[in-house]
Structure 1
Amino acid sequence: MSENVVSTGAVNAVKEVWEKRIKKLNEDLKREKEFQQKLVRIWEERVSLTKLREKVTKEDGRVILKIEKEEWKTLPSSLLKLSQLQEWQLHRIGLLKIPEFIGRFQNLIVLDLSRNTISEIPRGIGLLTRLQELILSYNRIKTVPMELSYCASLEKLELAVNRDISDLPQELSNLLKLTHLDLSMNVFTTIPPAVLNMPALEWLDMGSNRLEQLPDTIERMQNLHTLWLQRNEITCLPETISSMKNLSTLVLSNNKLQDIPECMEEMTNLRFVNFRDNPLKLEVTLPPSENIDEEEERELFGVQFMHTYIQESRRAGAHVNCSTPSPNSIDADG
């Protein structure tokens, strides 16, 4: 009996020794694997950094990272070693996301990441207080963070052809220097209040959205000189549009307008307007012109067409004034 006890004890002791050895061996293997992975990461980072440095150019005194038609689904943290960059131009590289460390590039003036597959704008974007241009067209963005309003130097914002953006945070009206805004080919059903309250806005494209009506408060955009509203479902124009004294270009082609409001005669600064492909009630034919430029402008259902239409409509007694506010009018303040 005692021999069995001794034998069992010896086996257990040997077993314990081997278990410790195996455990230590596994730990050593794990550390070795982690070390190897670390070496691989370091090597990959160095390779990536070398490749990135090869893409850095200098134009007009500005340090630019320019990559196009290469595979860069993510940007490595080694990019932080190039913090002097003032402009990113990364097009068609399959980029899935803007890196969270974007806010550490305090020298960035232009961030152009158009034609990628980005689905989100990180909140850290608000740390880029020197950023003047943000171009994110042709991506998959659905929402815009309010932190973007902290980019106090922003002058140009392009979010065209993301196809799913339907609104903007009210805080974006704090972008006091923003003059250029492209929201075309998304799913807006009205002009967001944030846009109406942008004090410096001069150029706005909301073509190819789902606009059915323009807000009566559209006149707030007093500095606007160019407004693109093509390919929407707009049925009428508010009377207040005639108060947009600086508006010189207005594109309304491919909408559902049945009439041209009389108040538009007051828009003396209007130099280019396009009413093509609207179901207008009257058929107006302009007399032929010997001037080629005038003829081309007529083909676009332009300013002369607009004035002639209003005059013909007035003579026919079929004209209606610009739409007046009604309980169903869009409230720009939400």
Structure 2
Amino acid sequence: MSTETLDLLRAGQLTGTQKLSLACGLTRVPSEVFDLAESLEVLDLSNNSLKALPDDFERLQNLKAVFFINNEFEEIPEVLARCPKLRIVGFKSNRIRCISETALPPTLSWLILTQNELERLPQSIGNFTHLQKFMLAGNRLRSLPESISNCQNLELIRLSANCLTELPPWLLALPRLSWLAYAGNPFCAAREVEGRSPLSTIDWQDLALENTLGEGASGVISEGLWQVTSTETQRVAIKVFKGRVTSDGLPADEMQACLAAGSHPNLANVLGKVENHPENKSGLVLSLIPPDYSNLGGPPSLDTCTRDTYAPETSFSLPSILRIARGIAAAAAHLHRQGIMHGDLYAHNILTNDEGDSLLGDFGAASFYERSDVATGAALERLEVRAFGCLLEDLLDRCDEHLMAESQVIEQLRLIEQDCIHPIPSQRPLFADICDRLARFELKADPIKGKS
């Protein structure tokens, strides 16, 4: 398809195009791309063999997003800094070893550098005051420049699978940081799960895979049948990990977090870990989630950056909002009691049914912390509390309840939301307090209406 698109481009038939994607073994940017300078906003040249950009790349004056995933760049071309509207820059899976102090555009809001060879970041990274999303998993970083503390709008950062020797305290003081992943660094020594029986191992030969339920960055989930005994079978979900670094981190860390999370009504129940996979892959066997559950929201878009997306017609009844909020706050409180930060508390990682029952899933960004380090643990929990506040805001913004009798309840929920997103992290409540406050509301159960 990209070859056909290239032919159309060269024939001058793409005039006015706003988004262009080409993946056809390119070793240079086709000159015809510049014929679209007046209209082009998103350029995706992923899965090619590019090593450099032309010096006049800045002619793309209206460009807002560029993606060079899976190419051969060893540095970020400085010409990008001269693109006046460029907000999103993606160089996942290249060979980037360094970033010059002047390589990035001042309007930058989303930077993707997952799976490169970076050993350090430029001090100038602190100049990007619009930066909201920073993807750095799978590099060789040993430290972070303290100038990042100037990035007051930073909301999401992925630091997993690097060589960091510490998690800087100043990072946790950022006023808007809500989604953080740092597993797979030297300072994150694997720890045993105390006081819990070892999880059962399930032989691959006792599993029969059927239809695929879903596929994410870290693995494939299939429905299947588990031969529990010679006479007993159970329908289950089977997740087989791919074994490579994802945008969030290492699949091995995700599996460890799933195992350590333990049992909770608002978490998917892990039944055992797979052994004797024919390709030596890791895997988990989980309880099969009923088919009437679906995702609460969709993942962020290029426009929303860090915030989830919802179908335009999506609305939620007030009782449903309260039921979902209670369930997810309880799940988060449970995780933090285990010294686990979920790292990706989002609507798109929550499954709900028509009654408002909810399950928090996807532990790809989860990280451990020592519960004995009370100050750090509280700071990490309050960071995740802000993510919960964003979720509550999304739900309340789509509340279909307009009765005056319930206005006071909505007002009280808005106060919880505001407390959760307080710009001073230390002023936010912990999840135990949030659970207590949510428990005070008395509402009748009511199905979700118009859920996407």
TM-score normalised according to structure 2 size: 0.43
Q: Which amino acid is 2:46 matched to?
A: H
Percent identity between matched residues is 22
Aligned to 2:49: 94
The answer on whether the counterparts of 1:56 and 1:64 sit within 8 Å (CA) in structure 2 is no
Q: CA deviation at 1:99?
A: 2.0
1:232 to 181, 185, 192: 185
The answer on whether the counterparts of 2:8 and 2:14 sit within 8 Å (CA) in structure 1 is no
1:67 maps onto 2:41 in alignment:
no
Q: Distance in 2 between matches of 1:156 and 1:319?
A: 32
1:304 maps onto 2:334 in alignment:
yes
The answer on whether the counterparts of 1:55 and 1:66 sit within 8 Å (CA) in structure 2 is no
Q: Distance in 1 between matches of 2:120 and 2:14?
A: 36
1:172 to 125, 139, 152: 125
Aligned to 1:123: 78
1:293 maps onto 2:293 in alignment:
no
Aligned to 1:328: none
* CA spacing shift, 1:56–1:217, aligned 2, 3 Å: farther
Correspondences of 1:1-334 after superposition (within 5 Å): 52-53=9-10, 63-68=18-23, 70-84=24-38, 85-149=40-104, 151-162=105-116, 164-235=117-188, 255-256=189-190, 277=256, 291=265, 293=267, 295=269, 303-307=333-337, 320-322=372-374
Q: Distance in 2 between matches of 1:51 and 1:113?
A: 21
The answer on whether the counterparts of 1:57 and 1:63 sit within 8 Å (CA) in structure 2 is no
Q: CA deviation at 1:50?
A: 5.6
Q: Distance in 1 between matches of 2:371 and 2:73?
A: 48
Aligned to 1:271: none
DSSP 3-state at the match of 1:81? helix
* CA spacing shift, 1:305–1:62, aligned 2, 3 Å: same
Q: Distance in 2 between matches of 1:234 and 1:216?
A: 14
Q: Distance in 1 between matches of 2:371 and 2:7?
A: 68
Q: Distance in 2 between matches of 1:77 and 1:87?
A: 16
* CA spacing shift, 1:178–1:259, aligned 2, 3 Å: farther
Instruction: Select the structure that is richer in strand.
Output: 2
Q: CA deviation at 1:184?
A: 0.9
* CA spacing shift, 1:197–1:51, aligned 2, 3 Å: same
Q: CA deviation at 1:304?
A: 1.3
Q: Which amino acid is 1:92 matched to?
A: N
DSSP 3-state at the match of 2:69? coil
Q: Deviations over 1:9-63 (max 9, x none)?
A: xxxxxxxxxxxxxxxxxxxxxxxxxxxxxxxxxxxxxxx98653469769xx861
DSSP 3-state at the match of 2:180? strand
Q: Distance in 2 between matches of 1:117 and 1:322?
A: 44
Structure with larger RCO (C-alpha < 8 A, sep 6+):
2
* CA spacing shift, 1:56–1:303, aligned 2, 3 Å: farther
DSSP 3-state at the match of 1:227? strand
Unaligned runs of 5+ in 2: 195-252, 271-283, 287-330, 341-369, 377-452
* CA spacing shift, 1:121–1:174, aligned 2, 3 Å: same
Q: Deviations over 1:118-150 (max 9, x none)?
A: 22222221111201111111111111122245x
Q: Which amino acid is 2:267 matched to?
A: D
Q: CA deviation at 1:323?
A: 7.8
The answer on whether the counterparts of 1:56 and 1:63 sit within 8 Å (CA) in structure 2 is no
DSSP 3-state at the match of 2:120? coil
Q: Deviations over 1:252-297 (max 9, x none)?
A: xxx445899xxxxxxxxxxxxx99748xxxxx996x65x363646x
TM-score normalised according to structure 1 size: 0.57
The answer on whether the counterparts of 2:6 and 2:22 sit within 8 Å (CA) in structure 1 is no
The answer on whether the counterparts of 2:129 and 2:150 sit within 8 Å (CA) in structure 1 is no
Q: CA deviation at 1:179?
A: 0.5
DSSP 3-state at the match of 1:134? strand
Q: Distance in 1 between matches of 2:184 and 2:133?
A: 20
Q: CA deviation at 1:227?
A: 0.2
Q: Which amino acid is 1:129 matched to?
A: P
The answer on whether the counterparts of 2:149 and 2:170 sit within 8 Å (CA) in structure 1 is yes
* CA spacing shift, 1:92–1:321, aligned 2, 3 Å: closer
Q: Distance in 1 between matches of 2:57 and 2:84?
A: 12
Q: Deviations over 1:312-331 (max 9, x none)?
A: xxxxxx9744589xxxxxxx
Q: Distance in 1 between matches of 2:261 and 2:14?
A: 55
Unaligned runs of 5+ in 1: 1-47, 236-254, 261-273, 279-283, 311-317, 325-334
Q: Distance in 2 between matches of 1:285 and 1:122?
A: 43
Q: Deviations over 1:137-184 (max 9, x none)?
A: 1111111122245x232211101111x111221112111111011011
- Let me know the Cα RMSD of the aligned residues: 3.9
* CA spacing shift, 1:138–1:321, aligned 2, 3 Å: closer
The alignment covers a number of residue pairs equal to 226
DSSP 3-state at the match of 2:34? helix
Q: Distance in 2 between matches of 1:191 and 1:88?
A: 30
